Amino acid sequence: MPLKIYKDGGGNPIQFMEINGVRYPYVEGVDQDHVVQVAKEAKARDDDILLVTYAKSGTHWTWEIISMLCNGNAETVPTIKQMNMIEAISSDDLTSLASPRVLNTHFRFNDLPKDMVRKKTKIVLVHRNPKDVAVSHFHHHLKLKSLYNYNGTWSEWLPLFLEGNVDVNSWFDYVRDWEKAMEENPDYPIHLMYYEDMKEDLCREVKKLAGFLELPVSAELCQNIAKKCQFENMQKDKKGLENEFWTNVWVNKQPNFYRKGVVGDWKNYFTVAQNEQFDELYKQKMAGSKLNFRFEL
């Protein structure tokens, strides 16, 4: 379970735990190799729901929405999504979760628990445009000091993202891998959502999600969930639900899972030259893809 140190464009170090070639946040004192391997052998239940995202793509937000739909009410869920993240909790904790379990992961399709794939566990897959993902990821690395021990600037950090030397590796490889998985498994129940569509009309997307999950919910409940899960409400209502561990990993012990939640914040960070470089890489990496990303609304 090697701890790997990478250097950003300015020579500043950043640390990750690398397991089978995939980078994860480094959590001191935890046998992450064991936790990840056990997660891949997790047993599925017939009513499980699995939320899948690349890091910093709206995981907290969508997990809250799915949980509310399953609970049948628009009340804040009294925990955080990390407590249901299959590669971040123990086998006992995973087993102890009440059904229906709303689980979440950053795994790629081939890394999913074999039993879940065999049973065709319903998957909600959320994608977000990579420029906003990059900005959110940068702040994530800066603020979770005990996990990454990083202290560089945006311009120094960006090459890490472009080269895929971040959590879960390359964004481009990740979304293309899931696109391929969907094409090769057309009968697998996967509901693809876009972060930008959710920002545009959350009630519409909640209704679509409820239909996919086959949950008999009213239009009124969908409206109430969409209202309750607006960014400002989640930022306020979820505050203080972190346990001691998650509080301690943040700079000054100030958890900040909900930073801005907007589309187009990348414009405040990318220089013209950086944007041109990114667009050229995007053109190369996404050639032939049918995925439709929006970088502004």
Q: Which residues are catalytic?
A: 106
Closest CA to 84 of 57, 108, 102, 106: 102
Give the CA distances from residue 198 to residues 90, 95, 128, 157, 194, in Å, rounded to whole numbers and listed in that order.
31, 31, 10, 28, 7
Contact 222, 201 (CB under 8 A): no
Looking at residue 52, the DSSP 8-state letter turns out to be E
Contacts for 215 with CB less than 8 Å, ≥ 6 apart = 69, 70, 72
User: Angle 235-171-53 (CA atoms, 0-180°, nearest 5)?
Assistant: 45
State how beta strands 3-7 and 102-105 pair: unpaired
Assigned token pair, 40: 């891949």
CA atoms within 13 A on the CB side of 182: 18
Contact 61, 233 (CB under 8 A): no
Contacts for 237 with CB less than 8 Å, ≥ 6 apart = 76, 228
